[in-house]
Structure 1
């Protein structure tokens, strides 16, 4: 954070917006691969999850719900732009010497159902995370740890419910869907607990910055 100490909160808001939107685009790309975590299967998008939710928490805690909401909606729009560009690129005819068209399509292509699931889950989860964070701050300004963890639990819980039910309902038993929802929400909440010291440090340092 030393590189940001000479900035104002207004200047840092622009930087956080860029970090947030870039992280979301990366997350959507790497989420196409899954990995085994003990006996659970999780999307690789969780790798960049700490960055996204630390920034989300900072935005809600320092700048309030309305400014956090604007960044969340901007992230949604930029993800949509990225997906449209991916699809156009996939549809454009490749020259004969380009041998990776199929691999390119597999990595950047997405079924319409998973695309809708991802966007709906992102909007619902991120907005609820920010809203709960701000609501709990009004209730008690001193319990930052409680606000960060509870907001993540609500936001990630809703994110997992929306994404998994829209994306996978009817493709596997209901019990498996529920297990995936619980596993993903708990995994990310535990992740948030582990990185909380970093979240707290960032929030405390940003609080000390001048407004303009």
Structure 2
């Protein structure tokens, strides 16, 4: 795949643009946080199954349907706006996840009014417990920062060519870390998550997440090309401080 959308753009180092405002950065940030929160609420705990030819029934986590979109948006953020601005969005997502966890715990533990019968269902959906909350936060933090770091570094190494290699390559690293951290930390030792099933889900999650990235590559190319043309720059992270704890741009 080519990268013709970068030809007429001004290639600049991330430090050179400083705190310059961008037209669509805030909207991309909002999209990232929304997808991240909803995918963690709606599908994180449910284990589904699909009957594959030859292989037979294969379990997978339902969150796989939408969570990988957050990695696609992370790729777009890093590719278009650079690692430093992607880092700020990742921290915004982390803060939103932490607040969501506090909100869930608070609402679940509020006293129940007489006559309301939905508490058990509410606890089942939103009372995931400290393990799932901790696992989600740790997996998200490590996976997304690795994804963004690898993509930014690869963009320098490839001189901005072969976008597909860095979107897929960074996803392999980031999603691999995410799956390796989340599932054992969240579900290992639970009665309804036997070790065999846990291993199957981890593998299927990783394969499906990377597969999603491959399938969505044309969409990534289209969005990246459009945003770069709209913003008028092609950002490279030469000289960028890649520490995840530095929040400046």
TM-score higher than 0.5: yes
Aligned residue in 2 for 1:11: 23
The answer as to whether partners of 2:59 and 2:200 remain within 8 angstroms in 1 is no
Coordinate RMSD, CA, aligned: 2.0
Aligned with residue 94 of structure 2, among 65, 70, 76: 76
Q: Which of the two has higher C-alpha Rg? A: 2
Distance (Å, rounded) in 2 between the aligned partners of 1:44 and 1:175:
18
SS at match of 1:11: coil
Aligned with residue 35 of structure 1, among 31, 48, 51: 48
Q: Confirm or deny that 1:114 pairs with 2:114.
A: no
Distance (Å, rounded) in 2 between the aligned partners of 1:97 and 1:174:
40
Higher relative contact order (CA 8 A, sep 6+): 2
Q: Which moved more, 1:166-175 or 1:120-129?
A: 166-175
The answer as to whether partners of 1:50 and 1:195 remain within 8 angstroms in 2 is no
The answer as to whether partners of 1:9 and 1:206 remain within 8 angstroms in 2 is no
SS at match of 1:35: strand
Aligned with residue 125 of structure 1, among 139, 143, 148: 143
Q: Which moved more, 1:160-169 or 1:132-141?
A: 160-169
5+ residue gaps, structure 2: 1-19, 52-56, 234-249
Q: How many residue pairs align between the two structures?
A: 205
Q: Report the CA distance between 1:10 and its aligned residue.
A: 1.4
TM-score, normalization by structure 2: 0.76
Distance (Å, rounded) in 2 between the aligned partners of 1:43 and 1:9:
38
Q: Which moved more, 1:173-182 or 1:133-142?
A: 173-182
Aligned residue in 1 for 2:222: 201
Distance (Å, rounded) in 2 between the aligned partners of 1:201 and 1:92:
46
Higher helix share: 1
SS at match of 1:110: coil
- How do residues 1-212 of structure 1 correspond to structure 2 at under 5 angstroms? 10-30=22-42, 31-38=44-51, 39-140=57-158, 141-171=160-190, 176-210=197-231
Distance (Å, rounded) in 2 between the aligned partners of 1:174 and 1:32:
16
Q: Report the CA distance between 1:168 and its aligned residue.
A: 3.0
Q: Report the CA distance between 1:211 and its aligned residue.
A: 5.2
TM-score, normalization by structure 1: 0.89
Distance (Å, rounded) in 1 between the aligned partners of 2:231 and 2:212:
31
Deviations 1:14-45 (A, max 9, x none): 11111111111101111122211333222221
Higher strand share: 2
Q: Report the CA distance between 1:169 and its aligned residue.
A: 3.3
5+ residue gaps, structure 1: 1-7
